[in-house]
Structure 1
Amino acid sequence: MHLNEFCKGIQLGEEASRIIFDFRLEEEEYAKLKQHFQTDRHSFFRYVTGAAGYRQMLLYLFARFAVDAYEEYRIRGIEDQIYFDTFKDIRIWSEVCYRDYGEYGIEEYNWLQEHVRLQLFRLGRLQFQPVAFDGENLKAGEYSVEKHQLVLNIHIPEGEPLTPQEVSHSFLLARKFFRGIPAVYICRSWLLYPGLNKVLKAESNILRFQQLFRIYEVDEESREAEQRIFNRLETSPDKYGEETSLRRAAKALLSNSGTLGSGCGVHIPCLTTTGDWPDAATI
């Protein structure tokens, strides 16, 4: 796998690709930085972000790390489609960096470390990450999710519509990919905030996705929904734009002392989402 093939595979734009191709770093220095990343990631990020132009440097380094990870994908027999789909997050976050800072690079470096460590994979529309369940035990009849049990954490990347068909396809791919891990899915996201029914239509793909989960925890203080809907956080709702129907509805709700938080839910395909799990207040 070469850098140019990688950039083409993740559909990275010409300007962002040029940053990678033109970046000058001696191989010896690259090897030291990679070793630093592998042995102490927190120290590595402190070191890199202390340098001028660190966003461009991180774009280059994550592209190199991803190229290096290709061999491990091959050893594990993981197909190229999954490889490129997973690392398209580099393109997504480089574009977010341009939107927020006016330059192509990487600011979400803590997030992207999971990809290059092969701790997270994109399968269709959704991303999946094996993790130890950190909540309290959830029980429903013969089914239970115990603390520290291995589950699949779900993340929803920006991009295509979150249609029921695409979501179902992702769950099917995950069942095949993560053989040996129980089909228990955990998701913590603003998409699972129950109050979204005040700003979205009933047929919304987001609400349909939300209905797959039994929500067992709600964070009313989270501002993730505001960040995702408006692409920034403001001190007053009056400062938010009204370019879309969702933004208009969300701004109106916030302006009238409403809240948009986040939720955490569990989805087990063999259970329905109504009646099988206790209410959040009783867990």
Structure 2
Amino acid sequence: MDIASLAAAIGLHEDASALVREYDRLESGDYPAHKAFFLRDRAAMLASVRQRADYKPFFLYFFVKMAVDAYAEYRLREIPDEVYIETFSDIRIWTDVCKTISGECGIEESGWLQEHVRLALFRLGRLQFQPIALDRDLIAGDRKFAKGDLVLNVHIPAGESLDQQAALASFARARAFFRGVPSVFVCHSWLLYPGLGQVLDPGSNIMRFQRLFEIYEVDDASRQAEERIFGAPQDDPAAYDEHTGLQRRAKAYLAAGGKLGAGAGIFAEG
């Protein structure tokens, strides 16, 4: 695997691909030191890079290089190329987000992509999964889950509809992929906020996905829903765009005093 092959496989736009190639021409000699720093102390390395004026394009270059390096470990673990490409397609997604929000070609989500390059998170179809230990005791319905229990944390990448069959297929793939990890899924997302039922039709993909989970925590103060729906939170809902049906309904709901926060839920079979 090399930069050009990865960029083509994940659909990285040509301007982003060219930027990565130029950084590799200029900074490849320093890359081993950056990588060693990252492996030694990820938080310190990422904080250090953020002091650079060009941190966004540098992060794009760095995570592409780390993804290229990760391919050898994928092969060693006999993880299919399909999973590799699906997982690192997040680089393209977050490059697009950075371009939309800041107008700059690069990566802002450095803290998130560190999970991908250290093989702590994998995309399996529509959803991403990350083995974690519960940080608290949980009760969902008539089932109890203990602090320290190993579960699969679920993330929903942007860019595609949340088709119910695609989501269920991802859960099925996760059960097979993470052998030895219980089929217990947790998710913290604006998609699990109960108040969305005031905005969306009960038969919508989002509400159908939400009903898979037993909601155990609600965060009314979160602005994640507004960020995902409108791009950036505004103090006055009247400032929000109305380009989509969801935006129109969410804007009207917020203007009438409603809240859109986030929720945490657990989905366990058996």
TM-score scaled to structure 2, two decimals? Answer: 0.97
**Cα distance in 2, alignment partners of residues 64 and 159 from structure 1:** 24
How far 1:25 sits from its partner (Å)? 3.5
- Report the counterpart of residue 259 of structure 1 in structure 2: 259
1:144-172 CA distance string (max 9 Å, x none): 31111110000000122111110111011
**Cα distance in 1, alignment partners of residues 215 and 107 from structure 2:** 32
- Secondary structure, aligned partner of 2:26: coil
- The answer as to whether partners of 2:140 and 2:214 remain within 8 angstroms in 1 is no
How far 1:26 sits from its partner (Å)? 4.0
Kindly indicate whether residue 124 of structure 2 is the aligned counterpart of residue 108 of structure 1. Answer: no
1:35-54 CA distance string (max 9 Å, x none): 11111112111211111211
**Cα distance in 2, alignment partners of residues 26 and 54 from structure 1:** 13
**Cα distance in 2, alignment partners of residues 261 and 137 from structure 1:** 21
How far 1:140 sits from its partner (Å)? 5.2
How far 1:269 sits from its partner (Å)? 2.3
1:248-277 CA distance string (max 9 Å, x none): 11111111111001100000122xxxxxxx
- Report the counterpart of residue 11 of structure 2 in structure 1: 11
Cα RMSD of the aligned pairs, angstroms, is 1.1
Q: 1:26 to 1:18 in 2, by over 3 A?
A: closer
How far 1:71 sits from its partner (Å)? 0.4
**Cα distance in 2, alignment partners of residues 144 and 257 from structure 1:** 36
- Report the counterpart of residue 223 of structure 1 in structure 2: 223
How far 1:134 sits from its partner (Å)? 1.6
Q: Which amino acid aligns with 2:187?
A: C
Gaps of at least 5 residues in structure 1 are: 271-283
- The answer as to whether partners of 2:140 and 2:216 remain within 8 angstroms in 1 is no
**Cα distance in 1, alignment partners of residues 157 and 116 from structure 2:** 13
1:40-92 CA distance string (max 9 Å, x none): 11211121111121111110000000000000001111000000100000000
- Report the counterpart of residue 193 of structure 2 in structure 1: 193
- Secondary structure, aligned partner of 1:31: helix
Q: 1:13 to 1:251 in 2, by over 3 A?
A: same
- Report the counterpart of residue 67 of structure 2 in structure 1: 66
Aligned ranges for residues 29-68 of structure 1 at < 5 Å?
Answer: 29-68=30-69
- Report the counterpart of residue 281 of structure 1 in structure 2: none
- The answer as to whether partners of 2:151 and 2:183 remain within 8 angstroms in 1 is yes
**Cα distance in 2, alignment partners of residues 86 and 261 from structure 1:** 27
- The answer as to whether partners of 2:217 and 2:263 remain within 8 angstroms in 1 is yes
> Which piece of structure 1 moves more, 144-153 or 25-34?
25-34
**Cα distance in 1, alignment partners of residues 150 and 28 from structure 2:** 38
**Cα distance in 2, alignment partners of residues 34 and 195 from structure 1:** 43
TM-score scaled to structure 1, two decimals? Answer: 0.93
Q: Which amino acid aligns with 2:201?
A: K
- The answer as to whether partners of 2:141 and 2:214 remain within 8 angstroms in 1 is no
Q: Which amino acid aligns with 1:16?
A: A
**Cα distance in 2, alignment partners of residues 204 and 56 from structure 1:** 37
Q: Which amino acid aligns with 2:124?
A: L
Q: Which amino acid aligns with 1:205?
A: N
**Cα distance in 1, alignment partners of residues 201 and 144 from structure 2:** 33
1:14-48 CA distance string (max 9 Å, x none): 11111111113344411100011111112111211
> Which piece of structure 1 moves more, 159-168 or 84-93?
159-168
Kindly indicate whether residue 81 of structure 2 is the aligned counterpart of residue 80 of structure 1. Answer: yes
- Report the counterpart of residue 278 of structure 1 in structure 2: none
> Which piece of structure 1 moves more, 43-52 or 76-85?
43-52
Report % sequence identity: 51
**Cα distance in 2, alignment partners of residues 60 and 260 from structure 1:** 35
**Cα distance in 1, alignment partners of residues 203 and 139 from structure 2:** 29
Q: How many residues align?
A: 269
**Cα distance in 2, alignment partners of residues 239 and 69 from structure 1:** 43
**Cα distance in 2, alignment partners of residues 64 and 227 from structure 1:** 29
Gaps of at least 5 residues in structure 2 are: none
> Which piece of structure 1 moves more, 182-191 or 128-137?
128-137
- Secondary structure, aligned partner of 2:30: helix
**Cα distance in 2, alignment partners of residues 41 and 88 from structure 1:** 21
How far 1:139 sits from its partner (Å)? 5.9
- Report the counterpart of residue 243 of structure 1 in structure 2: 243
